[in-house]
């Protein structure tokens, strides 16, 4: 059989060499790299060590070496900082190193504060206590059912039916008070463990015959917890019972450790607890992937299309093709959450497209992919192009490939890309993707759900651009419409999400949570606008945020950001002109704003000077720009239709 890739033989021998590197040798590699001050390679080897041999011992090693690297770099590691506090009714200390090592694998430098044993109520109430002084980004409320609902858990058989209902109600009421009090003191995200069901209910099988049994009432408490959480921004429940069930209650629990060390979770599952917390921490810290780039042969289907042909590749409802259908179903789920799919495969384009378009077993089709790179070029080059085409940073990409050589090569060339380690057995592919926290989302906006279609329209737009003589002709043809609205309940989640995720066209890169945005919107001198953009090809959805703050003489632009999908088409000019006009209408003399440079926001660097702003001051963090409003000539381009609250109500000002 012809070998489609003449290099594959030499590649696979280096794969074996990689696979043979023993975790213990990796440790000495890391120490040598640290001694040589090769920090990037040391971090990569630490990541490899953790993915190869995760556990308590490795976690201690990884953390101690990261501390060394942090010191050597003067606290300038390329990691996102995040602070989490854990309030608890059981021993969590042994989980903390696992959590920090796992966070590191997601590029997060996690600081952890653990509340005292069983003092979670005091911790929440004491507005000046150690919890709030720590100023966490997120707080986990990890209380076990035996503590949160002692009557239901221990004394259920003693309770008359009415008393049992009352007991459940009291539990719900306590949580409602704790959460409400917490929100008064802190805007941090709150992750509440819901209650597990008893593995052996006090009345045996009889318990399940009524909704008012022990399990039934605990289920009721959990339903109420979900309702309470939904009533607050940034409060989420962690389905603890589902977590325990996923791993099996009898394996999850360790009664001996519970009685001797107040540690209820068996040694083998402490990492699973840490990983469940990461499913919240990763999206909260913005380290999520926006695009999943998949390989084709032996990843999306079994076999090699160029060798096995349409009849030979495995993709069907039966084994072994079923494993690949399970992965494809997972991809469709991700796509529904707004995660874009792309293909990067070494293949002949025609072979691959035939399978993608016509193979009867395929659940995903070419239309589900926002970008395709099917060629014989180096994968890291293709990934760079995909990021460019989709207007995202490399750190927004996740990469799925069955070939460990390709994975290692991408890791080395593009350390920003999340590389998912596919297990050897294809039956485990789907769960490997589902278990990765980079695809978790805590809220879902309608934009997220429509994203794939929006990118399809964008492909057409890019085609149209090439047929016009001048940019202005193209802009007129686009028939762009931008709509500015004050932030509302409906748009709050998306607005906060944009401040968290937008890196490139973002003048100040200030990250805000939903509660913080809601708080700002209440202040009369603050204006928080959401920006929607439409054009003849389709609706881009809510793609921008502007936040302004009126002072006596001037109006300051606190935040101005737009998704890269819509910049460069003068929408940004129209919006800035609107901010200037409305500030002038409110009697302000100047519009001022900071540009705070980051590694990624170069596209926004010249935005103020290009629009006639003068530099007023500059310091180590950035430069401040000002526009004199009475003499300003800034105006919205006539090819953009601007829709605002004023224009809708017929111009009340």
Partner 1 sequence: LTATTFEQVRNIASDIFGVSSEKITAESSPETIENWDSMQHLNLVLAIEEKFGVQLDPEDIEQMKNIGAVAALVDKMQSAAP
Name the residues that contact partner 1, by CB under 8 A: 24, 55-58, 60-61, 64, 91, 93-94, 97, 254, 256, 260-261, 263, 266-268, 270
Distance in angstroms (rounded) separating the CA atoms of residues 267 and 277: 17
Taking the least distance from each CB to partner 1, the nearer of 127 and 268 is 268
Q: Are 238 and 86 in contact (CB under 8 A)?
A: no
Taking the least distance from each CB to partner 1, the nearer of 260 and 619 is 260
CB of 178 to partner 1, least distance (A): 28
Q: Are 187 and 234 in contact (CB under 8 A)?
A: yes
Q: Are 270 and 95 in contact (CB under 8 A)?
A: yes
Write the CB contacts of 590 (distance below 8 Å, at least 6 apart in sequence). 553, 554, 555, 626, 627, 628, 629
Taking the least distance from each CB to partner 1, the nearer of 10 and 260 is 260
CB of 395 to partner 1, least distance (A): 30
CB of 407 to partner 1, least distance (A): 26
DSSP-H helix ranges across 202-345? 214-230, 240-247, 249-252, 255-261, 270-284, 305-312, 321-336
**Degrees (nearest 5) of the Cα angle 197, 199, 202?**
90
3-state secondary structure of 623: strand
Show the tokens assigned to 397.
């990409």
Show the tokens assigned to 570.
């003068």
Token match 């300038």: residue? 76
DSSP 435: T
Main-chain phi, psi angles of 186, to 5 degrees = -150, 145
CB of 271 to partner 1, least distance (A): 8
Write the CB contacts of 622 (distance below 8 Å, at least 6 apart in sequence). 508, 594, 595, 596, 597
CB of 487 to partner 1, least distance (A): 46
Task: For residue 186, give the H/E element and its range.
Answer: none
Show the tokens assigned to 57.
């011992």
CB of 196 to partner 1, least distance (A): 20
Q: How far is CA 616 from the centre of its chain?
A: 36
CB of 480 to partner 1, least distance (A): 57
Taking the least distance from each CB to partner 1, the nearer of 263 and 387 is 263
CB of 558 to partner 1, least distance (A): 44
Taking the least distance from each CB to partner 1, the nearer of 199 and 261 is 261
Taking the least distance from each CB to partner 1, the nearer of 22 and 605 is 22
Which residue spans within 89-176 are E strands per DSSP?
108-114, 138-142
Task: For residue 79, give the H/E element and its range.
Answer: none
CB of 530 to partner 1, least distance (A): 48
Nearest to 539 by CA among 473, 458, 603: 458
Task: For residue 555, give the H/E element and its range.
Answer: strand 554-562
Taking the least distance from each CB to partner 1, the nearer of 84 and 263 is 263
Q: Are 282 and 440 in contact (CB under 8 A)?
A: yes
């Amino acid at each position: 059989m012809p070998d489609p890739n003449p290099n594959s033989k030499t590649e696979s021998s280096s794969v074996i060499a990689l696979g043979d590197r023993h975790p213990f040798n990796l440790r000495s590699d890391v120490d040598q790299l640290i001694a040589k001050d090769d920090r990037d390679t040391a971090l990569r080897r630490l990541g490899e060590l953790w993915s190869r041999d995760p556990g308590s011992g490795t976690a201690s090693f990884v953390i101690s070496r990261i501390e060394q690297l942090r010191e050597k770099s003067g606290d300038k590691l390329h990691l996102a900082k995040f602070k989490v506090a854990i309030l608890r009714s059981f021993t969590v200390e042994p989980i903390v190193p696992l959590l920090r090592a796992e966070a590191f694998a997601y590029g997060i430098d996690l600081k952890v504060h653990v509340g005292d044993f069983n003092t979670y109520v005091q911790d929440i109430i004491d507005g000046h206590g150690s919890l709030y002084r720590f100023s966490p980004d997120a707080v986990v409320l990890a209380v076990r059912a035996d503590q949160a609902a002692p009557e239901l858990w221990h004394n259920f058989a003693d309770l008359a039916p009415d008393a049992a209902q009352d007991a459940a109600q009291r539990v719900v009421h306590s949580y409602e008070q704790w959460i409400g009090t917490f929100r008064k003191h802190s805007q941090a995200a709150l992750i509440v463990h819901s209650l597990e069901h008893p593995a052996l209910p006090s009345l045996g099988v009889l318990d399940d015959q009524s909704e008012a049994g022990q399990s039934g009432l605990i289920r009721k408490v959990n339903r109420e917890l979900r309702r309470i959480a939904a009533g607050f921004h940034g409060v989420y429940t962690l389905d603890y019972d589902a977590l325990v069930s996923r791993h099996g209650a009898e394996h999850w629990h360790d009664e001996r450790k519970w009685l001797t060390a107040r540690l209820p979770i068996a040694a083998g599952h402490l990492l699973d607890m840490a990983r469940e917390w990461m499913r919240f921490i990763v999206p909260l810290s913005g380290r999520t992937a926006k695009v999943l780039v998949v390989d084709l042969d032996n990843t999306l289907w079994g076999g090699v299309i160029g060798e096995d042909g349409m009849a030979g590749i495995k993709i069907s409802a039966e084994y072994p093709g079923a494993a690949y259908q399970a992965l494809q179903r997972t991809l469709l789920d991700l796509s529904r959450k707004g995660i874009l799919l792309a293909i990067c495969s070494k293949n002949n384009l025609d072979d691959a497209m035939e399978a993608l378009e016509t193979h009867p077993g395929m659940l995903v089709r070419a239309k589900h992919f926002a970008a395709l790179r099917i060629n014989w070029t180096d994968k890291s080059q293709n990934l760079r192009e995909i990021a460019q085409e989709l207007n995202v940073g490399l750190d927004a990409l996740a990469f799925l490939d069955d070939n460990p050589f390709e994975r290692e090569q991408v890791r080395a060339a593009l350390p920003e890309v999340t590389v998912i380690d596919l297990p050897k057995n294809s039956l485990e592919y789907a769960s490997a993707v589902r278990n990765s926290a980079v695809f978790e989302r805590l809220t879902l906006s309608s934009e997220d759900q429509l994203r794939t279609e929006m990118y399809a329209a964008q492909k057409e737009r890019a085609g149209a651009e090439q047929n016009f003589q001048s940019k202005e002709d193209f802009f007129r043809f686009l028939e762009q419409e931008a709509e500015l609205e004050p932030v509302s309940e409906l748009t709050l989640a998306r607005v906060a999400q944009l401040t968290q995720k937008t890196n490139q066209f973002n003048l100040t890169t200030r990250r805000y949570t939903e509660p913080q945005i809601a708080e700002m919107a209440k202040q009369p001198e603050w204006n928080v606008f959401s920006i929607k953009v439409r054009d003849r090809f389709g609706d881009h959805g809510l793609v921008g945020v502007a936040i302004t703050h009126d002072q006596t003489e001037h109006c300051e632009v606190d935040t101005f950001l737009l998704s890269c999908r819509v910049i460069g088409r003068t929408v940004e000019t129209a919006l800035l002109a609107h901010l200037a006009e409305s500030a002038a209408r409110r009697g302000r003399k100047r519009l001022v704003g900071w540009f705070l440079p980051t590694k990624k926001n170069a596209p926004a660097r010249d935005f103020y000077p290009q629009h006639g702003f003068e530099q007023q001051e500059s310091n180590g963090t950035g430069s401040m720009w000002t526009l004199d409003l009475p003499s300003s000539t800034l105006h919205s381009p006539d090819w953009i239709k601007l829709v605002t609250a004023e224009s809708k109500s017929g111009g009340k000002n």
